[in-house]
Structure 1
Amino acid sequence: METISQDHSKLDSDMITDGMKPLVEFDPSIKVKSIITEVQARFNYTISYWKAWLAKQKSIANVFGRWKESYRDLLLWFLAMVQKMPGSQVQIEIRLLYNESQEVDGVRILHRVFWSFNPCIRAFKYCKPLVQVDTTHLYGKYKGCLLVSVALDENQNIVPITFAIVKDETANAWHFFLSNLQTYVVRRDGVGIISDRHESIRAAINRSGGDWKPLRAWWMFCIRHIGRNFLREFKVPHLQKLVVNIGYSRTVEE
């Protein structure tokens, strides 16, 4: 039988969820169009975009848990982490929920959280005195940013050090992250910190009271970020290569 273009009422999102669960487990970012194509190949029906999207969300919830419950379990998860790995550090800030001016009883909202595993804290002692910080946006149901710091060991391996989930990439968020990074991990002087040129990082470093300035620390810009920004602005690839080479030069003469 040729592929039937119309949908079928018996082929609901629950049935599709069961069939698509292995695909979603392997790749949670699978496109909805790919699910539609898979259903066509398996059932000979073309389902609607909405039905495929709903089936994907149900599959994600079945495999990884629901969004609200996952955030609700964060406190318990961090408590278990600290008990399992003593010496791990967690700083979590929670806000109250208000309906107009009235506090909603029993409801708390995650504002931001910083954490570092004890093995990561101990590993930094044996890494080069260099930390790189960066951020990536979260694309789940609840938006936000993941802030990360990494170091480099003597074998050129990248070592993750600290993490934070914040609402936005603001000066307050970066100050929260950098102050905890220095309090719990970067406890020695003369450490270099590499970042992009985001103004919120500059503002956070200026607010640090000298903790991230010479001679306590040395703030540098990531040459790869500079190279990408240069290419986007001027669109001259061979000049971009020269800019990157400048960043890797060890002397003024070079």
Structure 2
Amino acid sequence: MGTISQDHAKLDSDTIADAIRPLVEADPSIKVESVIAEVQDKFNYTVSYCKAWLAKQKVVAKVFGDSEVSYQTLSVWLKVMTLKMPRSRVQIKTLPVYRESEEVQGIRVLHCIFWSFYPCIVAFRPCKLLVQVDGTHLYGKYKGALLIAVTQDETQNIVPIAFVIVEGETSDAWEFFLTNLRRYVVTIDGVGIISDRHTSIDAAIARSNGAWSPARAWHMYCIRHIGSNFLRRFKTPYLHKLVVNTGISTNCYGSIHSKFVASAYD
């Protein structure tokens, strides 16, 4: 028989989950389209995208734990981490829960968390005096942002040194990150910090009481982000190339013009 395109009522998400478990264990990021193809190959039925997606979520929860369990065990995991690596650094900020304007006793909600593994802290010491910070959105059940600080060693390898999970790229979130980064990891002066042109980063640096300002540190904008923003605004690839080349120029003329470009489309 050829492939039956119509879904089968008894081919539910639990049955599919059992069938695709080895695939998800091997690759948790497997695409739903691949799950549909696997079901098609095994059962000769084409299941809906929704059913395949639900089956994958069930496998992920069984193998790796669901979102609720992960958040509940976070403090335990961090405690074990600091026991195994005693000089790792962790900072957790929680908020109270209110019911009808009254604080609920004994319950706190995770607000943001900073951590740096001790090997990352040690790895920073012989690296270049440069730190680059950036963030990315989280797309799980609970939204938020992951902020990361990286550096570069003498052989051009990228070394991650600190991590933060926050509610979003706000000034308070960046201040929380940069404060703990300065306190626990980047403890020396004369360092350069590279970022995109997000206003919340500028605000956090301004509120750092000089910790990330000259002469203790110098804040620089990432030329890749500047070039990307320039291209998005003006849509001229040949000028985009000139902007990037100007930004990486090491002579005085290029430096002057790179500052001009950075502010030309504010």
The normalised TM-score by structure 1 is 0.95
Residue 205 of structure 1: aligned partner: 205
Displacement of 1:12 in angstroms is 1.3
Deviation of the 1:211 alpha carbon = 1.1
- What is the aligned partner in structure 2 of residue 195 from structure 1? 195
Query: Alpha-carbon deviations, 1:104-127, whole Å to 9, x = none?
Result: 454332100000011111111111
- Residue of structure 2 in register with 1:238 after alignment: 238
Distance 1:235 1:91, change over 3 A: same
Question: Aligned letter for 2:4?
Answer: I
One-letter code of the match for 1:154?
A: E
Aligned partner of 1:18 in structure 2 is: 18
CA RMSD across the alignment: 1.5
How many residue pairs were aligned?
254
What 5-or-longer segments of structure 1 have no aligned partner?
none
The range that moved more, 23-32 or 204-213, is 23-32
Percent of aligned pairs with the same residue?
A: 65
Deviations 1:47-69 (A, max 9, x none): 23332121011011122111100
- CA distance in structure 1 between the aligned counterparts of 2:35 and 2:23, rounded to whole angstroms: 9
Mind listing any 5+ residue stretches in structure 2 that lack a counterpart?
255-266
Q: Identify the range of structure 1 (171-180 vs 204-213) with the bigger mean alpha-carbon deviation.
A: 204-213
Q: In the alignment, what sits opposite 1:79?
A: 79
Structure 1: how far apart are the matches of 2:159 and 2:213? 23
**Correspondence for 2:125:** 125
Structure 2 residue 197 is matched with structure 1 residue 163: no
Q: Secondary structure at the match of 1:155?
A: coil
Which SS does the other structure have where 2:20 is aligned? helix
Give, in whole Å, the separation in 2 of the partners of 1:22 and 1:198. Answer: 42
Aligned counterparts, 1:30-179, within 5 A: 30-179=30-179
**Residues of 2 paired with 1:215 and 1:43: CA distance?**
67
The one-letter code of the counterpart of 1:169 is E
| SS of alignment partner, residue 250 of structure 2 | coil
The amino acid that maps onto 2:44 is N
- What is the distance in 2 between the residues matched to 1:172 and 1:251? 37
**Cα gap change, 1:225/1:68 in structure 2, threshold over 3 Å: closer, same or farther?**
same
**What corresponds to 2:4 in structure 1?**
4
What corresponds to 2:218 in structure 1?
218
- With over 3 angstroms needed to count, the CA separation of the structure-2 counterparts of 1:35 and 1:100, relative to structure 1, is farther
How far apart are 1:210 and its partner, in Å?
1.2
Q: Distance in 1 between matches of 2:205 and 2:253?
A: 30
| Residues 128-181 of structure 1, C-alpha deviations (whole Å, 9 max, x = no match) | 111000001111111110000011111111111100000111000000000000
Q: CA deviation at 1:83?
A: 0.7
Deviation for aligned residue 1:23: 2.5
Paired AA for residue 189 in structure 1: D
Q: Which amino acid aligns with 1:48?
A: S
Deviations 1:44-91 (A, max 9, x none): 112233321210110111221111001111101111111100110000
Q: 1:28 & 1:221 partners in 2: Cα distance? A: 35
Distance 2:189 2:144 in 1: 32
